[in-house]
Amino acid sequence: MKKIIYTLLSFILLMNLAKSNSFDRHIITFPVNEIGKTEYNASIYETEPFDLSLELPNDWTLKERVSPDWNDVGIALSGVWSILDIYNADGNCVGAVGYNTYELYEGAEDVPAAIYNQIALGNNYYFDVRESYKIVNESDSGTTATVDVYYSASINNGTEKINQGIVSYNKDLLVYIAIELASEFVSDDEWLSIAKSIKFAIPEKVEE
């Protein structure tokens, strides 16, 4: 009897662990909206729509960012557009995802600093594609990598901070996505799993 009870408890524990580590696939069609669109960045919002497919831990959700002040959610994700915030099951904002377009520069077609220059060249906030860039997926169409996201003390209440970042570009579409995750809420395993799950596609057109 004790052996049966132990086996049942072990099974329940394994099922709960599997559930806690399970992921759901989400598909985002960018541009999500035109929030933040101006005459200066209009061409970014007018790019051909594309699908970003990624897996997030179960019970995580995506919500449109409506506030212009990133301090309201705690995730800056500066330099990309049409941002969606990522929330965990407890209602904490644990990340954000957005996109931008890029140009091909002769001799630097696959150089991260050239592709991600809008998010990589800041002083107080930047995706560190020079020192922390680690490729997790690579294909003829592009590359996905994990990076550190740096906050200086001057914009983070007097304390430097490093968040988790994911960057991925697509040569066929000439777009890239950037994801920032809050290191205090997201484990390294979750970070890597999300990065490895990223895929680009053109959304299917429905004939009227």
pLDDT at residue 13 in the model: 36
User: Do the beta carbons of residue 152 and residue 128 sit within 8 Å?
Assistant: no
Q: Please report, for the domain that includes residue 166, its CATH number.
A: 3.40.1000
Low-confidence ranges of the chain (pLDDT < 70): 1-21, 205-208
Residue 1 inside a domain? The answer is no
Residue 18 inside a domain? The answer is no
Number of domains in the chain: 1
Cβ density class 153-178: b for 16+ within 10 Å, e for less = eebbeeeebebbbbbbbbbebebbbb
**Each residue's pLDDT tens digit, 156-189:** 999 999 999 999 999 999 999 999 999 999 999 9
Residue 8 inside a domain? The answer is no
**Each residue's pLDDT tens digit, 25-43:** 999 999 999 988 999 999 9
Range of the domain at 74: 23-201
Alpha-carbon gap, residue 147 to 180, rounded angstroms: 9
